[in-house]
A = this chain, B = another copy of it.
């Protein structure tokens, strides 16, 4: 894309001035429409060192009220950053609906720098490109407008600018090693950039190459693309995104009605004995994981009153409290609802060596949000794949992902609801909503079956815990956890 790039329509200076002025006013008028339509806009500036990204970014944001935008920049990842998946720090910073975020370089630079320095090899490159493509697609499918600009200048022009910066003691510090390397190895760098641009050029988030030799002209190009992009996005706000075919290897898992709940019981003695054994084993495994920096994510879903809480307690009972966190997931807060539905899970990921246990999860999207109409049909239909991709990110990062469905039958639930209501200390656990959900049991069962069938991937399969006897379910959960963690430690 870069090699053959020629821009021939640079206007004369008077026309340039007038057109910039028009576009600035347009952008200013846009900001309220974006807020009204709750459109989140990501404007990403990438490009050659000294190509003028920062200065054009500075000019563009002058047309927008500070209430409506943020600016983000990234240094090379710190040791702490490296304890999370590659996408983590970028996903953390996505804008809220109705707002802009401007990025002075985003996830591209980490990749191209890594390729130049040799830190990222072919295999790693391909994996990261896949991650980025999926993330950009999922963001744009969820209504994010992503505008990607590459600021392009020639080798000589870059050299001139770098020399000028180096000549002045007040600007010298702005030139870093990468800029100098890039200029010295311009052709090689161009190939690396070009490859990245081609690899990540998609119809829903295409690249715009900016002729950055003249700063005023660069500003005009950026403004025009932003305004045009927003125009289109505002028109498209109700469009549905395609539902992608599943490409992940699935594991065979039974339908709920095929799950045999009978005879899945333990005596108190069996239970106490196994509990002790498994908890000691889990305790030692936890220290091992910690030292080997393996992250673990345990996801609990299940019927109301199925016994999730008590089950989780038997896991955490074996863990060092400094090394795990339980995330109880309720309905999203306003600042969470204003972002991609997976954002509140991205931001709750454990660091390497730590365990995060989710009491209810991202699967809310295809259960309660689907059945209560909190998202559109297109949203939840797309979500199976988005979730599979999310979990693939996690396991590719090296995480152990264990998903439990805690299963009981309708009669057992009724018995437990009544028990809860009769026990003063347990009354807070039962609400009107639980009774309303119970009425929709059959609808839920269909949704859960569809969910389990579509998301029981080889890398993150579902395990069903038969929990009419809670003791049985707890031991089974501990057994599976111990087994999975052992496997991970012996890899």
Contacts and interface: CB of A to CB of B under 8 A. Distances in A.
A315 B335 CA distance: 28
Contacts of A357: 66
B322 A71 contact: yes
Contacts of A66: 309, 312-313, 316, 326, 328, 357, 359
B170 A284 contact: yes
Nearest to A312: B66
A245 interface: no
Interface string A298-339: 000000000001001100110111101110100001110000
A206 interface: no
Contacts of A287: 170-171, 173
Nearest to A357: B66
A292 B425 CA distance: 58
A29 B61 CA distance: 54
Contact of A334 (B313, B317, B334): B334
A156 interface: no
A32 interface: yes
A357 B71 CA distance: 13
A54 B428 contact: no
Q: Looking at chain A, what size class is its interface with the partner chain?
A: 35 or more
Contacts of A422: none
Contacts of A57: 321-322
Contact of A29 (B29, B58, B288, B425): B425
A325 B67 contact: no
Contacts of A320: 54, 58
Interface in A154-180: 170-171, 173
Given A62-B313, A65-B309, A79-B78, A70 B425 contact: no
Contacts of A65: 309
Contact of A67 (B54, B78, B102, B328): B328
A32 B428 contact: yes
Contacts of A316: 61-62, 66
A309 B65 CA distance: 8
A9 interface: no
Interface in A343-390: 357, 359
A57 B321 CA distance: 7
| Nearest 3 pairs of A and B residues by beta carbon | A66-B326, A67-B328, A71-B321
10 contacts: A58-B321, A62-B316, A66-B316, A67-B328, A71-B322, A78-B79, A80-B80, A104-B321, A173-B287, A334-B334
